[in-house]
Structure 1
């Protein structure tokens, strides 16, 4: 096939010229299986050669609709022009110095921007890292150092990463934890707010969680509470109104650091720049990654100055942490979110998904709940006439959609949730076409 250049110049269409996966993708997968560790799985076995706007093109010439954004990473679109230009300019200047050896302006600019944009008008500091898990791990390090306490509270259905500490913080066993223990100590799990399944108000759910914390952990032993404002891998579970503010208030009263993990929800994804803004929650620290840098590896911890500055010099960092290339990409990405008003675009995308599947749900009771905010949406599938999780249906829908050229992701503790994370650059027409393919898969199963 003709060599393709990615970005929004790609034809924005779904086009199937072979079965999926096609012969070239199958050849690549055979090589992958012979060269890559088996533990590195894939959701859809296609070999991508170009991407942009709302599409990905594989080696066989198939153009697929992207409803996953590389797990909420390419919010501004794949190979967004401003990001590409910024990366090229930085690569031509220098690729690496290690900020903790000889610092550079890009890192400082990203920190300044995060301090400005994250929730709250208090004085802040930021530290940059490479991945979401690395940011979470460092947030816990900092909280423990600041409070001189060890305990960490996490929640049912949580996902925080795949390092040893963050595996212990993550709830779901397979595929994230099984056989990889023992895990780091002093991590305690309590119930979350899951309105579809617990039927509780935010205040009621918070009372359950906080009572368990007080009785089984004790505020005097607790360094931090960390929670995703909308749980990601756990099933895009949005807590009932009032749940997060109640946790924040209790943490403040008890000298416990309140951390929001906005790795998946941050940067316009939920229709606010940060999901915390929905209820005006102001965390002591916030972790970010994914959508921060247009596809380059970058993450951050941003928090109250007195907390962030408590760690001694040399206690934070890493060889590649805050890469100059990733920082250049981040500055261009954040600028794109602002200039193109992508928070509003996320709300428009969410409204389309709600309307589209809301109509279908009227006649199909296997759609248990449509939930999420903005362009972070999900459908929880259940067995007809009940709330029993329907993982088989979920898997069948994702498989059939992929075969028809639409990339969708599944999630949920019970494996029964299809999630929608389209790039915010996707057109209405392409989005609706992708949703229709998913709907057709539902109808066929």
Structure 2
């Protein structure tokens, strides 16, 4: 290590996943200690093991370790400070001292100590707090960061109660993540005003909202997971290209996103979902037990080429006679690729058994590929697949995942019946299981 150029050693130190290793290396090596000031990244994580030891032995407090790392620095541009996800499963009963603040990392007094030392060059800041110690303490850390870090480009805060009082504009910020946050900004007005040039926004499990509206002129990507409370949601983002939205039962949903290209939508009840046509949408993934109402009442646009559908649960008898493959192809006539969950496959197969393939476009369909998970395999699947291929002449690629618990004999019969009678189709076969990864076992014609 002594023979390596200093520039290379600094690069190695910058790539350490845990800066606690860096602190130890400073003690073990004079050269490491001399080069420490050149390190640009500080990444410190409190693990469950370290937390447990701090409860029973004389271990240097976590905040002290972090302050010591920052103290001698002069070139830090990235700071990541947090607790391990394993600690998120702890309850108040697990704590020896309920009022401890050793892992209260958005503590304004703690941040005031170290932030001034790195603020001039800081470009990325991530703080993942310990919810048990932070949930009942409101923090003004957003205001402190906004008034000190003029070069900050990326900001992440997780597991905290945040105030927006005193928050000022951060024109250089491009990426904002708030995850599992109690936020005192019920309509997101302060967030909209203070990050005018934001391009990436992630709001995951942010509580305290009433009538939230996301309004950013430069936003390109948004991931919004809304709490279960019924809210009126609005997104006004004229340059938004990609949206991942998960909500339960929205009172209403307004989308003013004319350039949207990729849309992932998960919704429990689609009664309040309605918006203007998304004329540029190319890729759509929909997860909803209220699928029929969603696709018939909503104008997703006619440019969609890739569609993924998950019904979540079996369709009730009242909707079973309405929802078939023809319903999907009628609503999305331009799709070339269709991906179906095992529940959706079962629902449309049940519809086929009673109604046949209705509303089909025949040889006019643009559909070329179907990827589907199959729960059970029997002759009804063969009949269903043959009917699809007869009606969709352009379909040349079938990718079927069979549940891993299916008997080998049944699986082999399905594969043989499909491949022998449809030589024009390229077949791919695999297995799937709940909570597991898809495993492709064969590809070919």
Considering the TM-score relative to the shorter chain, is it more than 0.5? Answer: no
Higher fraction of helix: 1
Using the size of structure 2 for normalisation, the TM-score is 0.23
* More RCO (CA 8 Å, sep 6+): 1
Higher fraction of strand: 2
Using the size of structure 1 for normalisation, the TM-score is 0.23
Higher alpha-carbon Rg: 2
